[in-house]
Amino acid sequence: MLATLVAIALVVQDQAPLRASPQDSSPRQATLWQGEWLEVRGERQGFLQVYDHRRERPGYVRATQVRVYSLDETSVPRLQAVMEFVKETPGAEALGIGHAAALLRAAKASQVGPEFFAALGTMADRLARRATSNRTNDTALAAHLDVAASYGVKLLGFEREGRTRVCYDGEAFRRVLALGGSAEARLQAALALTRPECIDPALGPVELHALHTWRRSVLEQVDASALPPYLANRLHLRRAEVEATLAYQFSRRGELQRGVEAGERSVDALARVSKAELAEEDKGAYAATAVRVGASRAASAHEAPRPSSGPQLAWTSGQPGETCLRLEDAGAARRVLFERCTYGLVWPASSRRSAPGTAVTVAVQMLEGWTELWVFHQEDGEWKLDTLAPAAVEPSLGYVELAGFSPDGSRILVTREVVSEGRVKSSFQVLKRDTLAPERSAERPEAIGSFQRWSSADWRERTVSLR
């Protein structure tokens, strides 16, 4: 419709009245909101005579409440100037989107490049975040969302934890990646398109795996070396999160080698983050990403040499989707000492045994971001199994990993990290082998001398908890 008009008026003020006649005392035909467009048909007494195609009614609007543009190349510089001004202005997203729509009609194809779509995506994405964070009945916000939708901007809503999250579908950002653009623009587009909180919780396992694989391909289109260090950090963090997720998903699908490779890539991406260049607003994301990487770190663990005698773990398939762990005596008889089956993802290479052979541990990832430590230990000549969880909370994001054993095998060293109430809580503990009760606990390993002495070189080399 816009392309067939000679001139349009874009509303620049919220709650601008559309009058029945060119007088402030005349009846209000409708209430207009910033970003809406009107067809200009004339001018009378300081009012513009217009036609509102959305509401299919004519009327008059004050000339000071709109900006008039002809839909040809002469208006392009003015439209671009307004877009550039409001691009980073909170609350003016609908106004900017309206100007973007007019610019798209007025400009030649050669004048519409990745910068245009980056600006459009920025405004649409910020409008979605405004809608998510707003908890009141905001009439203006609802109107701005309606204006954006009238221009074809698609916003999606998902129910998460009793709240609705609104997300932009990212069409403009896809065009930024397709057309090229600066490294910063490509990074902004990639981060917006791969935002984890905008993943539809209703997706099934097959759709989720395809989505995460696509997220990886999107992030690969950004060159970290062309970015300032603090922006490169954001790219590395998102890559670490995606690869940690894929490590779990590939392994769950039986593609173990690809799972190992993704686990290694997640650890490598996290290691590339420069803490000295980490922006203050990214520190929380860095800590949470490290926990997610830690939950899948066992995917990249190197298998320890298997003992020729004493207890050792073996694993077989149980019911469909089930793995059965069997603790066996490594002697000729292969006597079964203990057996337990689980639907969790067992990481065989993470299995470790104490020097005296009185305890055997293995990492079991129960959920995408939740890894427990299974401890087989001997008590009064009998073997039993206890499970160490990251924390006594509802499973969300966390892990617990083995850090070593005391020389006599009477103590087990573990690290726990969990995201709780938006904060990362870390704990380094020395546990009694027989009860698994904490004997010493601290937020840093330096605070426990025995932890420092007994922690294994393998753990110190591979853990992300010492970041």
Task: Kindly report, residue by residue over 178-217, the tens digit of the pLDDT.
Answer: 998 899 999 999 999 999 999 998 999 999 999 999 999 9
Task: Say if residue 420's pLDDT is above 90.
Answer: no
- Report pLDDT for 163: 80
Nearest to 355 by CA among 302, 303, 407: 407
Partnered with residue 376 across adjacent β-strands are 360, 385
CB burial of 276-301 (b: ≥16 within 10 Å; e: otherwise) equals: eebeeebeebbbbbbbbbbbbbbbbb
Partnered with residue 442 across adjacent β-strands are 428
Tokens encoding 208: 């989720």
Whole-angstrom distance, CA of residue 404 vs CA of residue 352:
9
- Average pLDDT over the chain, rounded to whole? 92
What is the CATH code of the structural domain delimited by 2-70?
Answer: 2.30.30.40
Global confidence as pTM: 0.89
More confident residue, 265 or 420: 265
Percentage of the chain modeled with pLDDT above 70: 97
Place 318 in a pLDDT band, splitting at 50, 70 and 90: confident
Place 3 in a pLDDT band, splitting at 50, 70 and 90: very low
- Report pLDDT for 395: 80
- Report pLDDT for 5: 59
pLDDT digits (tens, 9 = 90+) for 93-136: 999 999 999 999 999 988 899 999 999 999 999 999 999 987 77
| HEC assignment per residue over the chain | CHHHCCEEEEECCCCEEEECCCCCCCCEEEEECCCCEEEEEEEECCEEEEEECCCCEEEEEEHHHEEEEECCHHHHHHHHHHHHHHCCCCCCHHHHHHHHHHHHHHCCHHHCCHHHHHHHHHHHHHHHHHHHHCCCCCHHHHHHHHHHHHCCCCEEEEEECCEEEEEECCHHHHHHHHHCCCHHHHHHHHHHHCCHHHCCCCCCHHHHHHHHHHHHHHHCCCCHHHCCHHHHHHHHHHHHHHHHHHHHHHHHCCCHHHHHHHHHHHHHHHHCCCHHHCCHHHHHHHHHHHHHHHHHHHHHCCCCCCCCCCEEEEEEECCCCCEEEEEEECCCCCCEEEEEEECCEEEEEEEEECCCCCEEEEEEEEECCEEEEEEEEEECCEEEEEEECCCCCCCCCEEEEEEEECCCCCEEEEEEEEEECCEEEEEEEEEECCCCCEEEEECCHHHCHHHHHHCCHHHHHHCCCCC
- Report pLDDT for 320: 87
Place 173 in a pLDDT band, splitting at 50, 70 and 90: very high
- Report pLDDT for 417: 96
CB burial of 187-226 (b: ≥16 within 10 Å; e: otherwise) equals: bbbbbbbbbeebbeeeeeeeebbeebeebbebbeebebee
The Cβ-side half-sphere exposure at 89, using a 13 Å CA radius, reads 13
- Report pLDDT for 331: 67
Residue boundaries of the structural domains of the chain: 2-70, 203-300, 307-462
Place 1 in a pLDDT band, splitting at 50, 70 and 90: very low
Whole-angstrom distance, CA of residue 170 vs CA of residue 432:
52
Place 333 in a pLDDT band, splitting at 50, 70 and 90: low
pLDDT digits (tens, 9 = 90+) for 236-285: 999 999 999 999 999 999 898 999 999 999 999 999 999 999 999 999 99
pLDDT, mean of residues 419-443: 92
pLDDT, mean of residues 318-324: 88
- Report pLDDT for 332: 58
pLDDT digits (tens, 9 = 90+) for 350-372: 999 999 989 999 999 999 999 99
Residue 24: how many CB atoms within 10 A of its CB?
Answer: 11
- Report pLDDT for 378: 85
pLDDT digits (tens, 9 = 90+) for 55-101: 999 999 999 999 999 989 999 999 999 999 999 899 999 999 999 99
Whole-angstrom distance, CA of residue 123 vs CA of residue 12:
16
